[in-house]
A and B are shown apart, each in its own frame.
Chain A
Amino acid sequence: MVKKQDRLYSRAIFLGYRRGISLQNTNQGLLRVEGVKTKTDAKWYLGKRVAYVYRGKTANKEKGLTKHRSIQGKVIAVHGDNGVVRAKFHHNLPGQAVGKLVRVMLYPFRPSN
């Protein structure tokens, strides 16, 4: 049984989609990972799997709907100098996810040596 306290992922906030001033690319999301402030620190997270976890209103087994749902993705690149990271999801994140928590898992783990 995985308890709420047994956290094996980094917390990250979905800042929004990759964008210029007026045009946004909803295919790529920007994540600010907790504790990551520099480009070199962010490099550790490259390739790590990511999940946006949310709850549905109803569960319907016949329709294949569960109460707890997730959108899987992975970190694809570092974004800028201050530790923000780009992620791509199997399905693009919905707009309501902006500002919400995204989980950055520890796998695939790449040892430093």
Chain B
Amino acid sequence: MVKWYPTEDVQKVRVKRANKPTRLRGGVSPGQVLILLAGKHQGKRVIFLKQLEGGLLLVTGPYKFNGVPLKRVPQAYTVPTSTKVNVSGSDFSKINDAYFAKEKENAKKTEEAFFAPKKEKKPFSDAKKAMQKSVDAGIAGKITDPTVKKYLKTKFRLRNGMFPHTLKF
């Protein structure tokens, strides 16, 4: 039997749904301590602040404890732990994906510019330093337990006899 088809070619209308940000897994909530698994700060224990619009997680060391600044991290590269810290005293509502956007350089592509020695790196903006300080102050001030302080300063690492599939984070 011949398959039915319309006499004129009709474009099938596909409804495009809005993308939702990735689901937060592992019961992660603001103040949870996460372990970073890759990158410059691998092994460091950081504090989860919130999920940004693009789906990445916003974390901070705090910077004074382990040198991790306000940073975006994909969820798959973090391990949620059972330790939680109070972050209610910290205001990070203004931080979004645009905060991390690179500054666009309005350099015209000329021959001299191409051969000129590379410009020095721009220093870290003072506004960002100030934001880091204010966000961290609200968190670090509330951490009174010295064990938690040490915990955030220490890196996670695997040792002999430790197998990740048996570990309870």
Contacts and interface: CB of A to CB of B under 8 A. Distances in A.
Contacts, number: 59
A41 B26 CA distance: 19
Interface residues of B, number: 21
Nearest to A34: B163
Given A2-B42, A45-B165, A8 B25 contact: no
B167 to A, nearest CB: 10
Contacts of B76: 107-110
B32 to A, nearest CB: 11
B11 interface: no
B42 A8 contact: yes
A8 B163 contact: no
A89 interface: no
Given A10-B158, A111-B79, 4 more contacts: A6-B157, A8-B43, A8-B158, A44-B164
A49 to B, nearest CB: 9
29 contacts: A2-B42, A6-B43, A6-B157, A7-B158, A7-B159, A8-B156, A8-B157, A9-B158, A10-B158, A34-B163, A35-B163, A35-B166, A36-B163, A41-B165, A41-B166, A44-B164, A105-B37, A106-B79, A107-B38, A107-B77, A108-B77, A109-B76, A109-B77, A109-B79, A111-B25, A111-B26, A111-B79, A112-B26, A113-B27
Interface in B4-30: 25-27
Contact of B157 (A5, A10, A34): A5
Contacts of B27: 111, 113
A105 B157 contact: no
A44 B79 CA distance: 14
Nearest to A44: B165
Contacts of A36: 163, 165
A45 B163 CA distance: 11
Contacts of A110: 25, 76
